Structure 1
Amino acid sequence: MTCTVPSQDGEKTIFQGLSFDIDAGEIVDLVGPSGTGKSSLLTAFARLNPHAGGTMFLDGRPSTEFTPQQWRCSVAYLPQKSVLIGDNVAEVIRLPWTLAIRNEQDDSSSDTNHPADPQAHARTRGKRHRSGIWGAVHNGVDMLPDDKIRATLDAIGCEDINLGRAPHDLSGGQAARVSLARTLLTDPKLLLADEVDAGLDDDNAAKVAAILSDAAQRGMAVIRIRHRPPDGVATRTVTLDEGGLR
């Protein structure tokens, strides 16, 4: 995996020739100094980085055999800044399901058996997705009932967040955990978490670590960018520095 970005001097190589593998059920912490390209590496894995290139495999299949949507149904990127689209928390969390329903109705998806990726759709939702979405919401409720959302939020320390609360009323830490809950409920094979516990107190950071550990025990692979002290959850720690992994 290589990432080269434009710079004043022409091009700047962020990292080059990186090799990385992760097994189902592993939690790998990705650490390193700020500015070394950790977020760039995660977005490359998610096929969201136009400056990165390389060969990736999922369950033995090359990424070229997946459409971007198919890839992101299995490989979920959780960015530092949460993207919360909807009038309330329940609607925000159900967005992948309502998008999947809309895609099925429009016949625009080649894989409608999984929730869609909200991060990839955030910039392209527009009027076409907005119109008629309320007709699909009741199906989203059937697929993801309130009690399942409630249980997931409670597990990561969001007992005080009402499902009817507007997303713009959430603090940064609350918004990050709502985004995490949404991503976990889509049940990806690989979760790429970019500082998901940043800004949380120790108790809530421990709750986030516990739910990620539970997900890993069910077979989900997790890569976490972290700047906190080790929490004992990671299977191993990998350092990105000076363009290389060690």
Structure 2
Amino acid sequence: MSALRVRGLGVDLGGAAILRDLDLDARAGALVGLLGPNGAGKSTLLRALCRLIPIRSGEIAWDGRPLARMSARERATRLAFLPQGQTLHWPISVRRLVELGRLPRLGPLGRIGAADEVAVAAAMAAADVAHLAERAATSLSGGERARALLARALAVEAPALLADEPTASLDPHHAVAIMETLRRIAREGRLVLAVTHDLGLAQRFCDRIILIDEGRIVADGAPDAALTPERLRAVYRVDPAVLTGWTPARQDQPRPL
């Protein structure tokens, strides 16, 4: 089974240490939530995993092979990245937008072939945007845009998806739909790492929670084990009772899926 391995990862930005000697192992088949306060290093971790920013120390490997030894194109076929807060400026169709996800897999002429069309159709179906295929991407609502951009990332057919706040600014209905899609993708055999600030969604949908604070992992485990009142109070510096969506774990009931 495909696996991500990170050892001793250190990242500096603007002269400040953002990630500090971070270790991480994750395997395909799981939806892993990355949680923590603003500035903890969550987004920096995803960008470092994709080699979009330089690292100060450490090694990142996929299936035992260091990413540093891969070409940019090869890395892009292993780890698909869904950035946060993307704005669409060009009125291309949703289908064309999703086709852009195939770029790392296209040949020298860059032409979409039959296999690419199948991948694009599957990605649009998975993200529930097939009915929007001919719509201009700039005309989409916030929820539709989020799903279209997710489809573009899925079209890569990478074994790992790194999603940075995929539910940000979405209403509850669309946020739940995105999380359901991410969990289904993980169940189908991909590794999904998703940054989120929504403790309730993370507790409900994630198989595993990695809690980051000041550039270090402070908790790693099942949601109810990682998101304890004591740990949330220490990391978020507030009374857990005021954290929207989070509920204390109950020992007499199974965690809802």
TM-score by length of 1: 0.74
The equivalent of 2:27 in structure 1 is 23
Residue 236 (structure 2) aligns with: none
Relative contact order higher in (CA < 8 Å, ≥ 6 apart): 1
Structure 1: which amino acid aligns with 2:134? G
Which residue type is aligned with residue 96 of structure 2? E
Distance in 2 between the 1:99 and 1:192 partners? 16
**Structure-2 change in CA distance of 1:83 and 1:69 (3 Å):** farther
Paired residue for 2:36, among 32, 53, 58?
Answer: 32
Aligned to 1:183: 153
Q: Contact 1:29 / 1:236 at 8 angstroms: preserved in 2?
A: yes
Q: Verify: 1:235 aligned to 2:232, yes or no.
A: no
CA displacement 1:192-216 (0-9 Å, x = unmatched): 1101011222222222122211111
Corresponding residue for 1:192? Answer: 162
Query: 1:95 is matched with which residue: 95, 100, 107?
Result: 100
Alpha carbons of 1:70 and 1:145: their partners in 2 closer, same or farther (altered >3 Å)?
closer
Contact 2:119 2:155 in 1 (8 A): no
Shift in Å at residue 98 of structure 1?
Answer: 5.5
Deviations 1:133-178 (A, max 9, x none): 7xx35x3696238754552342xxx57x621111222233322221
Is the contact between residue 78 and residue 159 of structure 2 (CA under 8 Å) also seen in structure 1?
yes
Query: Could you tell me whether the CA contact under 8 Å between 1:78 and 1:193 is conserved in 2?
Result: yes
Work out whether residues 73 and 104 of structure 2, in 8 Å CA contact, stay in contact via their aligned partners in 1.
Answer: no
2:12 to 1, 4, 15: 4
1:32, 1:241 within 8 Å by CA — same for their partners in 2?
yes
Number of residue pairs the alignment of both structures matches? 207
In 2, the alpha carbon distance for the partners of 1:142 and 1:25 equals: 24
How much does 1:52 deviate? 5.1
Aligned-partner Cα distance in 1 for 2:126–2:51: 27
Name whichever structure is richer in strand by fraction.
Answer: 2
Please list every run of at least 4 consecutive aligned residues from structure 1 whose deviation after the TM superposition is greater than 4 angstroms: 83-86
- In structure 2, the residue matched to 1:55 is 59
Match for residue 43 of structure 1 among 35, 40, 47: 47
TM-score (norm 2): 0.72
Distance 1:140 1:99 in 2: 16
Name the amino acid aligned to 1:3: V
2:118 aligned with 1:144: yes
Distance across 1 between alignment mates of 2:18 and 2:148: 31
The match for 1:129 is none
> How far apart, in 2, do the equivalents of 1:98 and 1:13 lie?
33
